[in-house]
Amino acid sequence: MNWAKTKNGKTLAIKDIPELSMTELVAEIAEECEKGSRMVLFFGTDQGKVYAVLAQDVNSRLLVASAGFPKDRTYPSLTRDFPALHVFERELHEEYGLVPDGHPWLKGIRYPFYRHHPEKTMETCPFFRMEGDEIHEVAVGPIHAGVIEPGHFRFMCHGEKVYHLEIQLGYQHRGVERLFCGKRFQETLAESIAGDSVIAHTSAYAMTMESLGGIQITRRAQAIRAIALEMERAGIHIGDLGALANDVAYLLGSAVYGATRTLVINSLLLICGSRFGRGLIRTGGVVFDIEEDKVREIRATLEKVKHDVILMSETMFSTPSVLSRFEQTGVVEKDKAAQIGLVGPAGRASGVPVDVRSDHAYGMYRYSPIHKMTMSSGDVFARAYIRYMEIRQSLNYVMEQISHLPADGTERSPVSDIRLAPDSFAVSMTEGWRGETVHAAITDSQGKPVRYKIKDPSFHNWFGLAQAVRGNGISDFPLCNKSFNLSYCGNDL
Amino acid sequence: MLRNLLHSFKSGIMQESMFTNPLQPLKVRMNQGKQYIPDIKAAVIKPRFRGFPQPDEKAGTSFCAECRQCIDICPAKAIEMNPFSIDMGKCVFCGDCARECPQNLISFSNFHKTAATFREDLKVGKSMTAEAYQARAITVRKDIRKLFGRSLKLRQVSAAGCNGCEMELNACSNVNFDMGRFGIDFVASPRHADGIVITGPISQNMAPALEDAYQCTPDPKIVILVGACAISGGIFQDSPALNREFLQKYPIDLYIPGCPTHPLTFISGVCAFLGI
């Protein structure tokens, strides 16, 4: 066992992390993945090292190991055996020029500002091609028809049928990871990693900083973070159901879910002044408390939300015209989902039981556990229905937590004098509404973060969308896309 | 469908019968009632919302020159000391400055009508009241009013926006805010549009596509910047991955601050600009 063992939200000293050769590290990863561990992070640093973090979901353990860059910058690729690793290897190649020998499709991921091969641009990188007399390609984007983020989709079709979809992203690259380096307490930046997952990313960031700084936060602050995270989940999921309804021209659903979502995110505004939870979480705790009168107001609103969501969903999920579009559309089977490493509701809809809240419980979820839910069909219906189930679960969780808020106050411990642990490696995971959100920081001898790594669940799941549309009619693409609802900027960073 | 039904029953998540009751949609419709905000121009956002900043009269005096905590903590470099001002084009309305100030000299009101037609006007000094700001921030142009006053179709381009502003712009068209009542809509193609709405700090990778979209929009057209990122780069202003040349090349007609911009801020800003 050449791994350092750690847990979610804990810090390791760099000297305690085994440093192997790249060949050894790859062999160790293969052995662990064979046993069922999941790849959480696999990234390089400017200091010429590669770090790997694997998750053992059954015993809530994280395994960390490192390796120096190989001299010839080549190592045996693992993608053929473990397809989930394909994006990590591509990223490592793009950022540091390490070549995974035998990788089937070593294309760039986000064409970042700092890349090892600056001559490789979006224009010069070829697309996957399919040969045949009547094959045609459909190119969509980067600017899409709706008010959404940019990305390019290239479909390879025969008639209406999609054989493959290549998703090329990178348009959203803002250099977020580099902006975190050298600075502390950048919560506002964390809030903008993905503006729809503010709480998920900011709590992961705050957990990382707190673990490096040895800061404890109050139980009440933990409860408020969990409440905000579940409200974010419920709010976005409700919006997603509305968007799904809209995509199948079920306008009643679109209107009702749209209005219901407003109630949830306005309740978040009531707590912290922002409909998306900005300004709520800071290292050391939370900035706003939820007072007695607010508790009453939010409870009453969420009761109504729950009632409306159940009424609307039971109606929508028994409407034949909706079901005929949802069912058996965009299927990702369980085997495939596990192979390509789907996380979050998209994975759970295919029957892959991954949920950081219960697998690697943190914060409030250690005291009030959350029950994992999965479905099996892996189609648009499953991804929609699991959202409905999660909305109810989240609303119940908020209701329970907000009625029994711990009484130890939200006083933040002062952070300005805190020294972050030097020469350390901290990793934190949260379960955002999209799934596993991971932040990792490496500090130098002065305690300054020299490498900051972010992984949005979209990083895994975009490939799931490409798989889901295979064999479907191209007109079902918007529906499949919305059923995943992935982040462009979370991927592009 | 049967398999899913069976699954639902097995996992005990069913509440009522799943078979369609023809009256059910009516029940939903009745429960929904009327959701739109009747008088959107009079609507106010609940307290704790951080809108128009209000620096105290004492801000920027001798004590502040030594303290500078607000300047140090501001992630967007929106605060200037001599004379004291907060630049809403940079401000992400996080409220950190208000909290850090040992003298409590900075506060944010819930006033949301913060849009302006000129970039300089977004800088809020000490003596500026919300009413005074509103009175001078928007200059209505006769030609714009005549052309677009009754119908304005916009093409939105997210140029590295984080999806915060994008979601709020989507919300402008939902049943609550219902921006369509003023004839303002988002359209799918720049060819159908009278103007472009830009969100995000404009990444290098997105700059060519933004240029294309602008060129494809027929004249006469307007350009609206939404959110701190688009107006100034916001918290990404120091990133080398941006390319903001577009903003130097073409005239900007309207600046709408926020992080993200609240739907009411957007709607009131555009309406005021159109003079409606």
- What pLDDT digit, counting tens, does each position of A412-448 carry? 877 777 888 899 999 999 999 999 999 999 999 988 9
**Stretch (H or E) spanning B228:** helix B227-232
Check CB contact of A272 with chain B, cutoff 8 Å. yes
Check CB contact of B205 with chain A, cutoff 8 Å. yes
Burial of A465 (0-12, 13-18, 19+ CB in 10 A): buried
CB pairs under 8 A between A and B: 211
Check CB contact of A355 with chain B, cutoff 8 Å. no
Burial of A318 (0-12, 13-18, 19+ CB in 10 A): middle
Asked if pLDDT for residue A301 goes beyond 80, the answer is yes
Check CB contact of A382 with chain B, cutoff 8 Å. yes
The pLDDT of residue B23 is 85
Q: Give the C-alpha separation, A248 to A250, whole Å.
A: 6
The pLDDT of residue B72 is 87
Binned at pLDDT 50, 70 and 90, residue B162 comes out as very high
The pLDDT of residue B8 is 54
Binned at pLDDT 50, 70 and 90, residue B230 comes out as very high
Check CB contact of A194 with chain B, cutoff 8 Å. yes
The pLDDT of residue B3 is 60
Q: Are A173 and B13 within 8 A, CB to CB?
A: no
Check CB contact of A145 with chain B, cutoff 8 Å. yes
Mean model confidence pLDDT for chain A? 91
Write out chain B residues lying below 8 Å of A287, CB-based: 95, 99
Higher pLDDT, B58 or A488: A488
Binned at pLDDT 50, 70 and 90, residue B24 comes out as confident
Binned at pLDDT 50, 70 and 90, residue B128 comes out as confident
Asked if pLDDT for residue B15 goes beyond 70, the answer is no
The pLDDT of residue B30 is 86
Write out chain B residues lying below 8 Å of A191, CB-based: 94
Best mutation target among A174, A186, A263, A377 (most B Cβ atoms within 10 Å) is A174
The pLDDT of residue B126 is 85
**Residue A445's CB: how many other CB atoms inside 10 A?**
9
The pLDDT of residue B19 is 55
**Stretch (H or E) spanning A56:** strand A49-56
Span A184-231, pLDDT tens digits: 788 999 999 999 999 999 999 999 999 998 888 999 999 999 999 999
Write out chain A residues lying below 8 Å of B3, CB-based: 377
CB B211 within 8 A of CB B202: no
B23-51 in b/e form (b: 16+ CB < 10 A) is ebbeebeeebeebebeebeeeebeebbbb
φ/ψ (deg, to 5) at A170: 120, -15
What is the ipTM for the molecules in this complex?
0.90
Find the closest chain B residue to A310 by CA distance: B15
Write out chain B residues lying below 8 Å of A456, CB-based: none
Burial of A373 (0-12, 13-18, 19+ CB in 10 A): middle
Find the closest chain B residue to A141 by CA distance: B209
CB A212 within 8 A of CB A183: no
Span A324-355, pLDDT tens digits: 999 999 999 999 999 999 999 999 999 999 99
Q: Look at the block and give the residue holding tokens 């490498």.
A: A451
The pLDDT of residue A310 is 93
A324-363 in b/e form (b: 16+ CB < 10 A) is ebbbbbbbbebebbbebbbbbbbbbbbbbebbbbbbbbbb
Q: Give the C-alpha separation, A311 to A318, whole Å.
A: 11
| Percentage above 90 pLDDT, chain A | 75
- What mean pLDDT is predicted for residues A163-168? 92
Contacts 24+ apart (CB under 8 A), B65-69: B67/B102, B67/B103, B69/B97, B69/B100, B69/B101, B69/B102
Alpha carbon distance, N-terminus to C-terminus of chain A: 33
CB B152 within 8 A of CB B270: yes
Compare CB distances from B160 to A198, A375, A489 and report the shortest one's residue.
A489
Q: Give the C-alpha separation, A490 to A486, whole Å.
A: 8
Strands (E), chain B: 53-55, 79-80, 85-87, 106-108, 123-125, 152-158, 184-186, 195-199, 222-226, 254-256
Beta strand pairing call for B123-125 and B79-80? unpaired
Q: Give the C-alpha separation, A64 to A352, whole Å.
A: 23
Q: Give the C-alpha separation, A33 to A174, whole Å.
A: 32
Surface of A (113-132) touching B: CB under 8 A = 113, 122
CA B272 to chain A, closest CA, distance in angstroms equals: 22
Check CB contact of A43 with chain B, cutoff 8 Å. no
CB A219 within 8 A of CB A227: no
Surface of B (236-255) touching A: CB under 8 A = 236, 238-242
Cα four-point dihedral sign A226, A228, A229, A231: positive
Among candidate residues B147, B86, B18, B89, the one with its CA nearest the CA of residue A310: B18
DSSP A378: -
Token code pair at residue A259: 């209005």
pTM of the model as a whole: 0.92
- What mean pLDDT is predicted for residues A82-108? 91
Span A467-478, pLDDT tens digits: 999 999 999 999
Residue type, A278: R
Asked if pLDDT for residue B186 goes beyond 90, the answer is yes
Asked if pLDDT for residue B2 goes beyond 60, the answer is no
Binned at pLDDT 50, 70 and 90, residue B29 comes out as confident
Span A77-90, pLDDT tens digits: 999 999 999 999 99
Q: Give the C-alpha separation, A34 to A24, whole Å.
A: 15
Check CB contact of B230 with chain A, cutoff 8 Å. no
| Percentage above 70 pLDDT, chain A | 100
Find the closest chain B residue to A272 by CA distance: B48
The pLDDT of residue B134 is 87
Residue type, A266: N
Q: CA angle, B232 as apex, B229 and B235 as ends, to 5°?
A: 55
- What mean pLDDT is predicted for residues B170-193? 92
C-alpha distances (whole Å) from B171 to each of A45, B146, B163 are: 40, 27, 12
CB A317 within 8 A of CB A325: no
Q: Give the C-alpha separation, A322 to B149, whole Å.
A: 38
Find the closest chain A residue to B168 by CA distance: A275
